[in-house]
Every structure is written in structure tokens, then in C-alpha cells.
Chains A and B, each alone.
Chain A
Amino acid sequence: MDGIETRDVVVIGGGPAGLAAALGAKRAGAEDVLLIEREKRLGGILNQCIHDGFGLFLYGESITGPEYAERLAEEAVREGIRMETGAMVLDLAPDRLLRVNARSGYRLIQASTVVLAMGCRERTREMIEIPGTRPAGIFTAGSAQNLVNLQNVRVGNEAVILGSGDIGLIMARRLTFEGIAVKGVFEIMPWTNGLERNVRQCLIDFGIPLELSTTVVEVKGRDRVESVVVAAVDGDLKPVRGSEREVRCDTLLLSVGLIPENELSKRAGVELSALTGGALVDETLMTSVPGIFSCGNVLHIHDVADFASHEGFEAGAFAARFARDELPAAGKVRVTPGVNIRYCLPQSLRPGTAGAELNFRVTRPLRGCRVTATGRSSGKVYFRKKYGRLLPSELQKIRIRPAVDEDIEVACHE
């Protein structure tokens, strides 16, 4: 093995966040930017999201995932950013030493800064502990989407979908388009997780039943799925005895949650938030490890790719500044979630930061509510806004105009 290569900014991941981070770094003046993507193509998960709805903010029109990815990748090529596909980062150390494997060779890279943009993975059947047998025919929705959209594979004939998040809804429509019957979409919560527009255009349009407060309690079938047993759940999300019924199917698609993929981050010693599954960051999107930044789905699960890209542009720009020693270390004030807030991000700010942009999600659908950001020692109200309706599935953004120099709490009162 030869000597160790050095880079100013290494971006791990070439999806909507990573491509944007590389562009953000380049545009902020970083010369030596390298983007590393493990697939053979750039674009990340966008390549299999062939439906439209992307680009409304970034490009001012509604386009499909592959189009969005290609356009962003073309910008990166035009701006001369060095990018490697088919290369996977196997290890990241706290001092930003990377171990990278690719067909062209295995090597070590020493980066001044790293932007984490690895995206997320899907929650599995085993993680939600669905009892029963282990036959062929159980797929996570994203895995099935890859097989259908990128490999032209017919994953089954009759499917049941667990989870009403957008991926599940989109796949319900996709399967229906291709002549695979969808017997129903089952959602454990009393509300649907996906966009209302998707419920309409993916389920109602095709007469696919949506059952809320229902879950799959057993899988049956020895070699291939033969049926699933569904049951209603109570207020504690526990199955109600006696409500079970069997639904015949040969395929079960699981759309039961996305998990930021922070394996590399953990190896680098990055502190993670139990609320988001992603790194704890400050307003520059820097993690607890100096010089390591995070953006996109690996930081927190997004519902709009454009926002993941927005975060990427920011993280890249800050990474470039850090590489030039332009981001002085500072203390921090904490931003914590209060009542009805599931999480807010960033979780800390440099004291005195004005105009900070915060993201948050509520814990449940709320109507006629008021969001506030309040100082924890002074009680000062830094932000207040009324909302007609807030949904957990919609990431919210607010801007805290006054300079913040104490810990603040974001809350939502009905």
C-alpha cells in the first residue's frame, strides 16, 4: 500500500444531501473536495424513486428522483468536483482517517473535514418482532422498490403492506401499476404517516383499503408467505385479542420506519441523539467530533429531498470554512424539545447566534396550536407562531431571530 492520500473535504455519500454538500463546499471555496459513493451511480436513494414530487424547492418544478439526481450530479461535474462511485468507506476514525474500498483499490484517506451523508436504512421485520415463520416473500418496501424499479423483478402476486408512510403508499401504487394486487395497507398508529396526497393518489384512486390502528401479528407460510394475520391495536398499540383475521397474500412489504445509518459515525466517536437516531449537531451542522459534519437522512429522516439537499449545501459550506480554520470553537447553548415536540435540530447553538434556523417535528397531529421557543433560565420568548395544523410527518422549519445565549426549549401547545 502506498502513502496516505489527503483531502480537505471528503463527503461520504452521493445522494441528495451528499451531492449538495460537495457543491456547498466547492462554492464556499474548498478546492480539494472528494465525494465517495458506494453505488455505481450517483444519486443515492433517488435513483429508485421514479415517482415525481421532487425538486419543487430546488428546481421550481415537480420532477422524479432520477431527474433530480442527474441534475444535481451534472452540476457537481460541471463544477469540477472529484467524485468516486463504487467506492465504500469501511471505517472512519475520530481523526478523520478513512478506509475506502473500491474495485480500483483499497486505500486510506486523511481528510481535514468529513461530511457524513450516508442516508438511512429500513426498519426490519425482526426489529418490530412480528412472530411467525420466516418464509421467502418478506421485503422491506425500499428493497422491493429497488428490485421493481431497478431490476424489473416481479416480487410477488398478492401483497400486504404494513406501514402507511410514503414509501409504503408509493409502493402500493407501483405494484398496482404493474398488476400485482395489493390487498391492503395496515398502519399501527391511528393516523397515517404519509402525505394525504399520497393516500388519495396511491390508495383511494385504486380502491386499496387502508386500515389504521391495525398491525400484522403473524406471518404464515413455510417456504413462501401464504398469509398474514392482522389485528386491531389498542391505545397502547397492543393487539386486541379476538380482532385477528387472516389475509391471504404471498408478499409482505414492510414500510415501518427509517433509521439513520450511523455505523461509521459511531466508529468515529460521533455522539448520537436517541431522539433522531442521528448525530448531535450545532448550527454549523458539526457533530461532537471536530471537523465531522452531518446532513440529510443520516442526520434525521427527511420527508422532502430538497430539504435534505438544503442541509447538505449548508454542511458542505461549513465544512469548507472549518478546513480553512474559519470556524472557531465555542461554547454551546442547548436546544431541547418540550411538550408535543418529538425532536428539534440542531441540538445546540453557539451562544449569541442570531437568526438560527431550527427544524422540528411534533409527536402527534395537532390542530390550532402555538409553537414557542423559550429561554430555560430567563423564560424569555424567543419565538412564537400559531399553526392551523401540524403533522408528525411534516418537518417544520422556524427561524429564531434574536440572539440566543441561554438554553432554550421548543414546545407546541394546543
Chain B
Amino acid sequence: MSDASPADRMTCILCPVGCELEVRRSGRGLDVQGHQCEKGIGFATEEVLYPKRNLATSVPVQGSETRLVSVRLSDRVPREMIFPVLREIARLRPAAPVRRGQVLIADVLGTGVDVIATRTVE
């Protein structure tokens, strides 16, 4: 049985060098090539096995359909949480005024991550 599996390619974004990494599943683990420091292995491993993402969307201010508050997460969440988190956010109708950085949902769906407003709405 061949142990050559298709490589996942990605550029590490942890520092300006931008190593081009190749990640293959081998045996029980991952084989990472192309890194110039240890951090690259962690980066690639996480991206392949436990990818995390931030997300941004917007919600209407209470009482309006057109005045929007843009929001993002205070940190990344597991990729599979993207749509569940978006659904939680979709129910928000924060009352104005809203301050930039204001926490609109703390610890959303138990992820330990907050949903924060990214603009000020008077």
C-alpha cells in the first residue's frame, strides 16, 4: 500500500518569512515539510487537524432594518462552529448606542470566545 498521500499546501502566516509548507498524513501522524522553525509544525498541524477561524458579520440595531453593527469574534473558534456561531449572532438585535469593542455575546456557545462590536453606532 502506498504511503504517499496528497499533500496539503499552505503558507505559514506566523512571521513575514512565509514558509511554504507541505503537510501529508503519514502513518498515525502528520508529516510537515518546508518549515524553517518549529512554529511552522504547530501551525500546519492545527490547520489540518483542528482548523480554527475567526468570522465577521453584521446585525441590525434594535428597531431598525438598515442601521447595522458589524461584529467579529475576540478570537478564533473551531471551524465547525462557524455556522452555529453565525446562527447565534443572527438573533442579536443590540440596542443603540453600541460601542466599538462592546461584548455582545460573552463566551458564545461555550467556546470561550466573545462576539464583539467592531464599530460604534450612536
Contact = CB atoms under 8 A, between A and B. Distances in A.
A153 to B, nearest CB: 9
B79 A205 contact: yes
B85 to A, nearest CB: 10
Interface residues of A, number: 24
Among B51, B56, B58, B79, max chain A CB count under 10 A is at B56
Contacts of B45: none
A67 B118 contact: yes
A209 B13 CA distance: 24
Interface string B102-122: 000000000000000011100
Interface string B4-44: 00000011010000101000000000000000000000000
A214 to B, nearest CB: 21
Contact of A152 (B10, B60, B82): B60
Nearest to B13: A197
A150 B68 contact: yes
A40 interface: no
- Which label, helix, strand, loop or mixed, suits the secondary structure of the B interface? mixed
B57 A177 contact: yes
B13 to A, nearest CB: 6
Contacts of A63: 118
Nearest to B51: A205
A133 interface: no
B66 interface: yes
B57 A64 contact: no
Nearest to B17: A388
B70 A50 contact: yes
Contact of A67 (B53, B58, B100): B100
B66 A50 contact: no
A179 B95 CA distance: 25
Given A50-B118, A67-B100, A70-B120, A149 B10 contact: no
A333 B50 CA distance: 53
B86 interface: yes
Nearest to A51: B56
B65 interface: yes
B62 interface: no
Contacts of A197: 11, 13
A11 B68 CA distance: 28
B70 A149 contact: yes
B118 A177 contact: no
Interface string B71-88: 110000001001000100
Given A149-B68, A150-B68, A67 B13 contact: no
Interface residues of B, number: 27
Contacts of A178: 57
Contacts of A388: 20
Nearest to B9: A196
A200 interface: yes
B10 A196 contact: yes
B68 to A, nearest CB: 6
Given A50-B56, A52-B56, A200-B10, A66 B119 contact: yes
Contact of B72 (A47, A64, A149, A196): A64
Contacts of B79: 205
A205 B48 CA distance: 11
A151 interface: yes
Contacts of A64: 56, 70, 72, 118
Interface string A363-400: 00000000000000000000000001100000000000
A386 to B, nearest CB: 13
A197 B43 CA distance: 13
B11 A149 contact: no
Contacts of B86: 177
B119 A70 contact: yes
Given A67-B100, A150-B68, A152-B66, 8 more contacts: A50-B57, A66-B119, A67-B118, A70-B119, A151-B68, A177-B82, A196-B11, A197-B13
29 contacts: A47-B119, A50-B57, A50-B58, A50-B71, A50-B72, A51-B72, A52-B72, A62-B54, A63-B118, A64-B70, A64-B118, A66-B118, A67-B100, A70-B100, A70-B119, A149-B58, A150-B68, A151-B66, A152-B60, A152-B66, A152-B68, A177-B86, A178-B57, A200-B10, A201-B53, A205-B53, A388-B20, A389-B18, A389-B20
